Structure formats: structure tokens, C-alpha cells
Amino acid sequence: MPGLLMGQHLGFNGAGFFENYDDNAAQWMQDLNGSFTLRVPGGAISKFHDPYNNRNGWGMSEESVSNWFSRDGFDEDGQGADKWLRKVKEQPNISYLEQLVTMQQQFPAMRVLYVLNVLNSTPEANMQAIRYLKEHGVQVTGVEAGNEIYGKYARFEDYIKDFEPIFNMLDAEFPEISKGLVAGANLSRKELVKWNNDLAAYKGDYDAVILHYYYTSRELGAAYKMIEKVKYDPEQNFKQLDKAFEKASELMQEEDLIGKGLAYAEQQFPGKKIWITEWNTKPSDKLNNTILNGGWQFEQMMRYGNRIEYFLMHNGISPDKYGMISRSNSKFDSEKTALVRRMGYWSMQLALATKNAQPLERGKQIQIPSGRESVYWFSNMDAAYPAEVQFNPDQFRSVTVHYVGGNHLYSGAGYTGFMEKGSTRSYEVSCVRECPFTGELPGNAYGYIVWTPR
């Protein structure tokens, strides 16, 4: 049977990646023990970058920022020019293109999705950066024609005028690079439904549609309202948080945001590959960096990864809890390093390790065959329970469970959004655990089980 994720690519968004990259992060990336895809430069920054012609960071300039805001006045998050002019000044005097070349040498199997600046640049400037990367050995395997750009065009036809010249140049110089176009995920917005209909009707040459999925208060509001700030102590039980996170778990199962989104995309864009290049829950102060969020992330990668060519978590390395690896917060984290591995890191590590796993689901009996290795994954956001698996223990050298778990769904890898001043510094989830499988699936946990034959 083909592996569940065989031929598909897991990875992460690169917003803020090199700004926060250090030696510990490099080692932790090695410890993922799997090939990953990095999306650069990231999201909102993609309308300001010109990294080939400006060798500071991703090549933002005061001119490009000022020009954009004089025309548009805001970015995707409603932020104004002051934020981005500050970011221009904070850019280092090193090129992130060169950093990416060095990283490719460190991680030879790494793939790169490059987000084009279709809104505020030229086809040639975009191509200069791609040429540089390709000439220096970076595996640019796909490009995205902008980031969530549907709100910036009055008509889809105007978008075509911006991306088609770049796509034509790519076809002539690098026909092996796949090309993705931006679709809208929030179908409650009529303008995005129309955008998607126009995209589906477009007969030009492209390979994939790009979608971003975030659980927000729109789907999880009932649970978000129940989350209260606490002076957190991992030795205490916070009943209100238990109720809030159980409600969030229930809603996530009912809503099935990514599953339903995939069903729509497969029907709306037949024959096109699907790239989900940002996905998470937001805001990050609600569920991020908890067992519940990590278990959901792991389950989505395992359950749907075979239907998504590029499935890239938001975010890789960043200041915020969105990051698989993020900056330490000395008020809440007991870890002393500048960066800390958060829950998303452990979810990614487990998913990369289990590409040929099959689901182990409650209420479904499984017979484990003798004579070969079997791997089954699970995500149990409930109490421990006996797994419904049958096998002859005499036929196996070992049966081992590899998992991430905690005392509660709200247990975290350090700082979480509900911690208030005076919380006990902590780092409850600090590794993937390994132990002999006793027949019971651990509670508030996710991971996989390996049956190794004699």
C-alpha cells in the first residue's frame, strides 16, 4: 500500500525565519529527521521584497513601502506604513538569498516555494531572484503568484496581467518550476466565491491553487469566549480551561475546516494540485502551543497530506507562538535558550517520521499482520483507552509507541496565551516520548505505534 504522505511535501511558512534563525534552530531543524519545504519570503512581506537588487534582508526599501501605502493604505492585517517602514530599517546588512543558499547546503533535501511580488515589482526583478537561487543550487520547486492578493484587485483579469508575464518567463527559463495561483478559502465572502469562479474559468497555464486555512472565532468563538487568563501552574487543574479546550476540540471535529475546504477545492478546481501554504488556529493567544492545537496539526497532516501537494504550517521560526520554534519568553518559559521548540515542532517531527502510517481510530478494529513492520498513527484528545488492535506479540521484536502528551488539552511547550503575570515558568511538553505499547492509547496525546517483526 502506498505511504499515506508519499509524494507530498510537508513544511512551513518562512515569515520571520531568518530574522530568528540561530545555531540551536539549525540543530533542531536537523533533528526533524525528514525532508521539508520552506516557503519564502513569507506572507505580507511578499509585496515589498526585491532581494536581488537590494541585498539587505529580503530587499525591502522605503520607496517600495511608501509607493504601496500611497496607493493602498493597509496590508493584510490592517497595519499601516509605519510598521513596514520600521521593518525596512530593521533589515540586516546581509542578504537572505545568500542565507537560503547556505541553508540549502545544510539541508540538501529541502524544497523551496518562492512567493512572487506580483503587486509591487516587475517580472524581471522577480526572475532575477529566482535565477540567483537556481544558479546557486537552491531547489525552488514552485512559485506562488502573490499572497492573499484577491482583495487587491477589482477584477481577476487585472491579476492575470500581473502574473502572466512572470509565468511566461518561468516557462522559458525554468519549466520544471510549478506555478500556483491564489484562491480564496473563506467562502462566506461573496467576492471570494466570484474570484474562485473566475480562477476556475481561467484557461491559462498553471499547476496549482493556493489556499490558506485558519480556525478563527468564526468557527471556534464559543470556545474562545470560555478561555480565561490564569496564573498558570502545571501542578494545578484549571477546570474552566478544561471545559474551554474540550469545547474547542468538539467544534474542530464538527467543523473539519481543512477537510471541507479540500472537498470544495477538488470539485471547484478539477485537475489542479492543491497547495495549502498557511494554516493554523488564530489568534495565537487562544489555542497555539497546546496539546489540542498540536494534536489537530498532526492529525491534519496525517489525514489529509496525501491530497495536498504542499502542506505548509504557519509558522516555521518566528517571534510569536505561531512558530514551531519561537523566541523564549522569560516571564513564562523555564527554558533558558533564546529560542524554544513549541508544540508545532513536535507535531511536524512526528508527521515527518510517519509517512507510511495508517490511522488507528476509535471504534475500528485493526488486525496487525505478522512478518512485516506496521505503523499506525493516532490523535486522542480524550482520556486513555484500550486500542482495538489484535496481534500476536510472539511475532514481534518490539511494539513501541512514540507520542507527545500532557496532563491536559491545554498543556503546552512553555508559554501559552492564557498565562498571565505571576504564572509559574514551565515547559511541560519537551520531547517525543517512546515507550513499549501496553495496549492502551495515552490520553491527551498524539503520535504513532510501530510493530517491528522478529
Cβ atoms 182, 148 nearer than 8 A = yes
In what helix (H) or strand (E) does residue 277 lie, and over which residues does it extend?
strand 273-281
- Note the pTM of the prediction, 2 decimals: 0.95
Whole-number Å distance between alpha carbons of 183 and 108: 31
* pLDDT tens-place values along the chain, 454 residues long: 333 443 489 999 999 999 999 999 999 999 998 899 999 999 889 999 999 999 999 999 999 898 888 876 666 555 678 888 999 999 999 999 999 999 999 999 999 999 999 999 999 999 999 999 999 999 999 999 999 999 889 899 999 999 999 999 999 999 999 999 999 999 999 999 999 999 999 999 999 999 999 999 999 999 999 999 999 999 999 999 999 999 999 999 999 999 999 999 999 999 999 999 999 999 999 999 999 999 999 999 999 999 999 999 999 998 888 899 999 999 999 999 999 999 999 999 999 998 779 999 899 999 999 999 999 999 999 999 999 999 999 999 999 999 999 999 999 999 999 999 999 999 999 999 999 999 999 999 999 999 999 9
Question: What residues contact 135, with CB distance under 8 A and at least 6 apart?
Answer: none
Distances in whole angstroms, Cα of residue 198 to Cα of each of 161, 187, 272, 410: 14, 14, 15, 42
Q: Where are the domains of the chain?
A: 9-222+255-353, 358-453
What is the residue type of 396? F
Residue with cell 512567493: 115
Q: At what angle do helices 96-106 and 123-135 cross, to 10 degrees?
A: 30
Placement of cell 496590508 in the chain:
75
**Percentages helix, strand, coil for the chain, rounded to the nearest 5?**
35, 20, 40
Element (H, E) at 92: none
Nine-digit cell string for 278: 498557511
CATH code for residues 9-222+255-353: 3.20.20.80
User: What distance in Å separates the CA atoms of residue 62 and residue 156, rounded to the nearest whole number?
Assistant: 29
The pLDDT value recorded for residue 8 is 86
C-alpha to C-alpha distance for 319 and 335, rounded to whole angstroms:
15
Q: By CB neighbour count within 10 A (0-12 exposed, 13-18 middle, 19+ buried), where does 383 fall?
A: exposed
Rounded Cα distance, 443 and 441, in Å: 7
At 173, list the grid cell.
527559463
Burial class (CB in 10 A: 0-12, 13-18, 19+), 172: exposed
User: What is the C-alpha to C-alpha distance for residues 355 and 433, in angstroms, rounded to an integer?
Assistant: 19
251 grid coordinates: 467544534
Name the H helices within 312-361. Answer: 343-353
Radius of gyration of the chain (CA): 22
User: What integer pLDDT is reported at residue 5 of this predicted model?
Assistant: 42
- For residue 283, say if its preceding peptide bond is cis, omega within 30 degrees of 0: yes
DSSP, collapsed to helix, strand or coil, labels residue 224 as helix
Q: Residue 401: is it exposed, middle or buried by C-beta count within 10 angstroms (0-12/13-18/19+)?
A: buried
